[in-house]
Structure 1
Amino acid sequence: MTITLALLLAAQTAGVADTAPPTTAAAAPDVEGAATQTEDREDVSAATAASRDIYVTARRRSEQAQNVPIPLSVVGVKELDSTGSFNVARLQQLQPTLQFYSTNPRNSSVNIRGLGAPLGLTNDGIDQGVGVYIDQVYLSRVAAATLDFLDVQQIETLRGPQGTLYGKNTVAGAINITSKAPSFTFGGRAEVTLGNLEFKQAKAAVTGPLADDVAIRIGLTTTSRRGTIYNVANGTYVNSQDNIGLRTAILYKPTEDLNLTLSGDYTRQNPNCCAQIFVRVGSTQRPLARQFDALARAQGYEPPSRNAFDRLTDLDAPLQAKNTLGGLSLRAEYQLGSGTLTSVSAWRFWDWQPANDRDFTGLPITTRSQNPTRQDQYTQEFRYAGEGRRFDYVLGLFGFYQDIHTTGIQQQGRSASRWLINPTSALANDPSVLNGLTANNDIRLKNFSGAVFGKLNYKVTDSVTLSPGFRLNYDDKVGSYVSIVRDGQGNLVPYSGGTARQAAQRDAIQPQAFQDEAYRAWNASYDFTASYKPSRDVLLYGTYAHSFKSGGLNLNGVPVVNGVVQTQLAQIKPEKVDHFELGAKTQFWDRKATLNVTGFWTNIRDYQAIVNDSSTSSLRGYLANAGKVRVRGIEADFAIRPSDRFNLYVNTAFTDAKYVDFNNAPCPPELSGGGTPTAANPTIGAPGAPGTNSPLVCDISGQWLPGISRFAVSYGGEYNLPTQVFGKAGEAYVGIDANSRTKFSSNASRSIYTDIQGYTLVNARLGFRTDAGVNVFGWVRNLFDVNYYEVLATTPGNTGLIAGNVGDPRTYGITVGASF
């Protein structure tokens, strides 16, 4: 914080006598400033109000979205509230190019066009490919995206590499969240929602002056809901919601040229969560006696239902997903010369306290599985956005430091021996072999990243602009992974050798350690955009970007072969990205209609792909570099508002994403678990044929990337009619929003058991609102009660059990809100 204050006070002194005219950015309507003057106005996005100008800060200055040669989507406060999009999971239903997957807050991924983070278990040692920014502060953990939006004014989703404009390098895009700013005019808003499944949500915000030059804003949100899955083992509902968040911002404006904003926020999430439940069993190449149905029969076990949409489970281990995060930031903005000097200093923390059932059954196989984590993050960004006669530019410096400490534990139960040890071994009938077997893991990461970046927009003519950008980045990561394993009597399990009993224990949980593994590298990025504006309402542009995602460390452990830790796999190479884009932004019919079209082609070398270990060990998936990945597609966003009474939008995306070269990939379950080919018996068995040989690795070149539908579309509209209710003039309205997507893979190596079929979700609302800020509406989400899966996953042990997350059933309720 002292860095920001010192710099801004010096800048204020240096610029007191400067009489240069204000920059375009200063003269244009400021996104946050507009919010302060028109509290809780009906901000609208290109999706619902084509006839209005939408201002964004995508290029670190306020400008009309249709004049920005970047494919982006904008959602304002009205859309967030009316569609119930109070987190990223809901937001993706409005934006078909955004994908969000979560099995719990830690194991979440936010992707744009299918790129960003591997779909699967989170690895602390890698960076995210999609940057999430709240009020210009970078959030390094995707866990932040699982929490409720707090007092948000507007959300911009930028697609494609953004490293020359933003503090942290991002190869897939950025989500730029702007909170409502403090105002010198007293006002606020309150909103209450009640729904089925005991859904309760309350939001409140108040703002006003503390002095002539100081204003404050306080926002609060709380959400709770009963779980959607019934646990027959203990009579409770799981996968509930229990969130609370608080944000305070203080604006100090000592002069017209200087703004200082001190913000603090705290969010706590503590649901009874997160259960992945039985979906199906798929045959593997393991011997039949070692597959799920035979193992379950041997212990007299049967899942409570083999239909996941009965929404039943019998998980016997405790569940917890306590997730707290927050921090402080100081943003200083000073009008200096022909531009704006900005400094953003921030500290953020993340505290994760989980408990999981990693065997996904009601048997005591894995009785404890949790990796509590504490992270502290510090960021400092300096940025100057200036303007000349025919050009404008942004220059920035960014520093990031992250300290993560994870202390995990995994413990096996009394059923583990019969489930995990080959039934032909006498050890399988001795519960004491694995009962109480415990791994204590200590994982540490110290991560520094520093960068200088810049972007120039040069107007060659009034209609042609050339925009080169650059970034020079240095990364320094040092990490350690130590897993100490003890049996039920407290004896150390050796890395190799020992008795047959210890070998069986090692097969269940492999001890290992590597310390002070380091990744250090310089990387350069650059991009170039040419744009042509032949008329007021048409913008054509093309972009080439050469970018990267930082290399990293495997901090979930690496394979151990014959007692030797394969430390050569501890490091992951950086992704190298070449990105091409052509786009057109158009408005017509007196700006009542908007049509934006983008075509893109992205090639990635050394793509960071998740590799899941087939054992039940504490090695919970590690990363490997695929040779090459290609993602290409076409996006079209159309919106029309023929009158103030009616609007309609259709956003579509075609995405073709595949592994071009990945010939040493992990095999899917139907080609796993069998014997090792030998010279005497080299034959690989048919997929899912029990007791046959399995390939050591699989060539999945040409297969789909996980998590991406080839076709996705979001569409909807709203109609309103002037009327009076209880003598209050206003408008009645009805709105429908829907999203459809085609089939997609839910496994790193596509499996016949983990494809998720396409589905369509429809949401509707009916209400009444007034110009004075009163809004009352009823809503239904998943109107037709469609059964669908969010995520499917292969489970440890390669028994053929497939677990998953079922999507929410039909939910409904009523919302009452008022501004003052």
Structure 2
Amino acid sequence: MSQVFVRRLLLSAAVIAFAVPAAAQDAPATAASTQPEADDTAPDDAIIVTARRREEQSQDIPLAISVVGGEQLDNTGAFNVGRLQQLTPTVQYYSSNPRNTSLSIRGIGAPFGLTNDGFEQGVGIYVDDIYYSRVASATFDFLDVAQIEVLRGPQGTLYGKNTTAGAINIQTNQPSFTPEGRIEATIGNLGFKQVKAALSGPLSDNVAARLALSGTSRRGTLFNVATGTYINEQDNIGLRGQVLWQAGDTLDLTLSGDYSTQNPECCGTVYVRTGATQRPLYRQYEALAAAQGYAPPSRDPFDRLTDVDADLSARNEIGGVGLRAVWDLGDGTLTSATAWRFWDWGPANDRDFTGLPITTRSQNPSQQNQYTQELRYNYSAGNVDAVLGLFGFHQTVRTQGTESLGSAASRWLLNPGNVQVGSSGCATPTTLACDPTVLDGVVAYNDIRLDNTSAALFGQVSWEVTPGLTLQPGVRLNWDKKNGLYERLVFDGADNPVLFRDAQGIPITNPRTVARRDALTPQRIEPSFSDWNFSYDFTASYQIAPEVLGYATYARSFKTGGINLNGVPNDSQGNPLIAVGAIRPETVDHYEAGLKTELPGRLGVFNLAAFRTDVGDYQALVNAGQVSTTRGYLANAEKVRTQGLEADITVQPSDRFRAYANAAYTDAKYVRFTGAPCPPELSGGGSGTPVAAPGTPGNSPASCDISGQRIAGVSKWSLSYGAEANVPVNLLGQPGEVYLGFDGNFRSRFSSNPSPSAYTWIDGYSLANFRLGFRTDEGANLFVWVRNAFDEEFFELLSVAPGSTGLIAGQPGDPRTFGLTLAHNF
């Protein structure tokens, strides 16, 4: 760990420590709780979870789980999943735009890179029992959240949609028959404004309703010199309504509806660096840019200047309607969750990452509808608890894409042969690379479709064999079917189709047509996949002492097969390689052991977990490096392994002080991946032998063996930690407490490219957040906050520009921000 990180951690600890002595003087004996209680027998400070689809104390379940309450989310500014990862170090979240969002737990879940609609997520997102299939939902503000549970490891025998890496179980505040409400308003630098409100109460003796809304806006953090505007802004609006009908003494029906929208000018990047590739030197970034008189607006990425010249948009709408019925049958409870959800995505991107008119338009707007039905029976009697469930899922995705090239595309993308464009200029106008009309105006239209259906039967039994010893087997039977279409039609600047063959079937070898096909390749495939799968798990737990629970788990899980919906490579005759249209399911062997300990005197908790997950046929992203030949297609890596240790500790000696620390060591690597995409230093050259040394012009390998390399996006070390201390005061006649809080996190370095590259390692960084406020006994709360208090300069993502030019672009993380929040519960 860096010395800077250690110094900042010590400074942050000192600030909190200064407040502790005063805070501890009048401490009552019992710790306070902000969590709901499951029943009257639960201790006042118990954290109640529904991870196993029934209410239990989190310390009583043999499962690695992190719980974040709604109050902590509000206090720390963690208003979406992206910020949640700062509180839960086992979560990895990356987003170049809402659609291209990757969410993983313990290093697995989704391949790092451009999203492909034809595969499943390994991390399930559930909101009040409703499955959210689009990971884009992770970019929206949390709406009226009561609690978030992050479950680590496979959860297929408990949750409707199979999840191999874990699940994020979000519980919202429910309608109440006692009138209540909450309002919160925040202002900050960069024009930050956020409003949250919720109101709940009875409509009749047996009907209650709840309405919540949120809105967030903030000026962008990058300045685009090409348009004179700030980009990568925040612009979120969300609305959620619920109606609860107590239809009888044993039947509750809850109808819910939600709608959220984003419409920021997003998502641009900044110049970070260049790295040598195997292209001829005069075809790499520096020479190409000099030949066209181009220079980035700044070579210091933390000047936060860009000049991307294509339209930017990240319009994103998501919502739906759900009906949940809960029927108490005495020894058991029958739950039905029915839902329809939609997702509408309207993007525009600059895929060349420069201010040159290379790719002038890149967008793939999509519309999704999903329908889910889950029936679940929970049984509890004596020493047996059981869950039996049925789940059905149907999803349709329709995408209409457009990509077009501009006047700088020919010189940037095409091979000029013996003419060294970068050094001596275009010697003859007959050279294709010197003729802008070859690629200028070439356009591709994409039609992408997915019909995805799955059904499952799942169940789990928890049997206390003897006092303290519990055995928990679980099974799942799953069926999946996917049908897809990927069709790309390409036209030149005169609106003539670009084809591989003419009407008589004769191959077209005209050099201009060949050049256009290389840049934007026409293709049509109709991939499909269908299969059954059986999986299972087994957990044994033992109450070693009244405050110590030990457990061990083995799970044989899977992630269903997928289909490629971003295109696949063509052979030399222009025929798509149908064999890679579908990918095999992942097979998962998961091992875990843990201890859950309550500290003496109910001082707090200390939990440990050790795990190992072996994944066969890991679904990875492969990208050939061209600008638009394929956006990246899926393939199976032979084997991936992730293993590590996790520790979580929370101490709360009194109402006046609370502290926590969570640590994760994650060793995630490709055990065997022999056909992986090559990093930029081994890309861009010709084909043949011998292969040139990395970063040396010459021949490049068709693929690379990255066996033993680390999986992208995973830090070996991740930490989150914090504390809050308060003292009772009477301010302006209002009794309450003044409090000081700190939350920090640290991540060690990680790779930001699917195949590790010397050019795309992101250095480790630490972030520190502080808050100082006053809250009254009547529910008012006023506090000032500062996030990234030490103004750490860090990257969220680095991206390799298409075309093997050596350009590396990036997304800087947020600078220091500060503001004021006023909230009131009533």
Query: What is the TM-score normalised by the length of structure 1?
Result: 0.93
User: In structure 2, what is the equivalent of residue 24 of structure 1?
Assistant: none
Q: 1:287 deviation in Å? A: 0.4
Distance 1:586 1:732 in 2: 31
Question: Any idea what SS the aligned residue of 2:720 has?
Answer: strand
Say whether 1:322 aligns with 2:315: yes
Say whether 1:156 aligns with 2:149: yes
Question: Any idea what SS the aligned residue of 1:619 has?
Answer: coil
What stretches of structure 1 of length at least 5 have no aligned partner? 1-39
User: In structure 1, what is the equivalent of residue 766 of structure 2?
Assistant: 760
Distance 2:675 2:237 in 1: 45
Say whether 1:212 aligns with 2:212: no
Select 2:450's aligned residue among 417, 437, 445.
445
Select 2:591's aligned residue among 580, 584, 587.
580
Distance 1:675 1:355 in 2: 32
Structure 1 segment 657-676 matched on structure 2, within 5 A = 657-676=668-687
> What code does the residue aligned with 1:495 have?
F
Select 2:544's aligned residue among 505, 510, 534.
534
Distance 1:731 1:618 in 2: 61
Q: 1:613 deviation in Å? A: 2.2
Range with bigger deviation, 169-178 or 641-650: 641-650
Say whether 1:481 aligns with 2:474: no
Distance 2:587 2:500 in 1: 36
User: In structure 2, what is the equivalent of residue 433 of structure 1?
Assistant: 438
Distance 1:675 1:378 in 2: 48
| Paired residues of 2:33 and 2:45 also in contact (CA < 8 A) | no
Select 1:703's aligned residue among 696, 703, 709.
709
Select 1:86's aligned residue among 44, 68, 79.
79
Select 2:694's aligned residue among 687, 694, 716.
687
Distance 2:175 2:604 in 1: 33
Question: Any idea what SS the aligned residue of 1:772 has?
Answer: coil
User: In structure 2, what is the equivalent of residue 456 of structure 1?
Assistant: 461
Q: Render the CA deviation track for 1:528-566: whole Å, top value 9, x for unaligned.
A: 000001332111000000000010000000001211110
Q: 1:409 deviation in Å? A: 0.6
Q: 1:319 deviation in Å? A: 0.4
Q: Render the CA deviation track for 1:506-526: whole Å, top value 9, x for unaligned.
A: 1111111012x2100000110
> What code does the residue aligned with 1:543 have?
T
Say whether 1:469 aligns with 2:469: no
Select 1:737's aligned residue among 732, 743, 747.
743
Select 2:779's aligned residue among 773, 776, 795.
773
Select 1:713's aligned residue among 702, 712, 719.
719
Select 1:519's aligned residue among 494, 518, 529.
529
Q: 1:44 deviation in Å? A: 9.1
User: In structure 1, what is the equivalent of residue 25 of structure 2?
Assistant: none
Query: Aligned residue pairs: how many?
Result: 771
Distance 1:81 1:532 in 2: 36
Structure 1 segment 605-684 matched on structure 2, within 5 A = 605-677=616-688, 682-684=689-691
> What code does the residue aligned with 1:314 have?
D
Distance 1:415 1:666 in 2: 27
| Paired residues of 1:228 and 1:237 also in contact (CA < 8 A) | yes
Q: Render the CA deviation track for 1:573-596: whole Å, top value 9, x for unaligned.
A: 100000000000001221112110
Q: 1:41 deviation in Å? A: 8.3
Range with bigger deviation, 93-102 or 587-596: 587-596
Q: Render the CA deviation track for 1:591-639: whole Å, top value 9, x for unaligned.
A: 1121100000000000001011211115100011000011000000011
1:44–1:96 CA distance, 2 compared to 1 (3 A): farther
| Paired residues of 1:187 and 1:819 also in contact (CA < 8 A) | yes
Q: Render the CA deviation track for 1:295-351: whole Å, top value 9, x for unaligned.
A: 111111000011111100001111000000100000000001311000000000000
Distance 2:727 2:702 in 1: 65
Q: 1:804 deviation in Å? A: 1.3
Distance 2:34 2:705 in 1: 52
Question: Any idea what SS the aligned residue of 1:653 has?
Answer: strand
Query: What is the TM-score normalised by the length of structure 2?
Result: 0.92
> What code does the residue aligned with 1:187 have?
E
Q: 1:276 deviation in Å? A: 2.0
Distance 1:696 1:433 in 2: 27
| Paired residues of 1:51 and 1:591 also in contact (CA < 8 A) | no
User: In structure 2, what is the equivalent of residue 42 of structure 1?
Assistant: 34
Structure 1 segment 78-227 matched on structure 2, within 5 A = 78-227=71-220
Range with bigger deviation, 158-167 or 272-281: 272-281
> What code does the residue aligned with 1:427 have?
L
User: In structure 2, what is the equivalent of residue 248 of structure 1?
Assistant: 241
Distance 1:795 1:260 in 2: 51
Say whether 1:789 aligns with 2:761: no
Question: Any idea what SS the aligned residue of 1:432 has?
Answer: coil
Q: 1:51 deviation in Å? A: 8.1
Question: Any idea what SS the aligned residue of 1:80 has?
Answer: helix
Q: Render the CA deviation track for 1:350-384: whole Å, top value 9, x for unaligned.
A: 00000000110000100100000000000000000
Q: 1:809 deviation in Å? A: 0.2
| Paired residues of 2:33 and 2:44 also in contact (CA < 8 A) | no
Q: Render the CA deviation track for 1:425-482: whole Å, top value 9, x for unaligned.
A: 6011111111110000000000001000000000101100000000000000000100
Q: 1:209 deviation in Å? A: 0.4
Distance 1:712 1:541 in 2: 24
Select 2:733's aligned residue among 727, 731, 735.
727
| Paired residues of 1:44 and 1:78 also in contact (CA < 8 A) | no
Q: 1:277 deviation in Å? A: 1.9
| Paired residues of 1:410 and 1:618 also in contact (CA < 8 A) | no
Question: Any idea what SS the aligned residue of 1:459 has?
Answer: strand
Structure 1 segment 175-574 matched on structure 2, within 5 A = 175-424=168-417, 426-495=431-500, 497-498=507-508, 499-515=510-526, 517-562=527-572, 563-574=574-585
> What code does the residue aligned with 2:580 have?
L
Q: Render the CA deviation track for 1:130-154: whole Å, top value 9, x for unaligned.
A: 0000111001110000000001110
C-alpha RMSD of the superposition? 1.3
Q: 1:421 deviation in Å? A: 1.0
Distance 1:526 1:304 in 2: 55
Q: 1:388 deviation in Å? A: 2.5
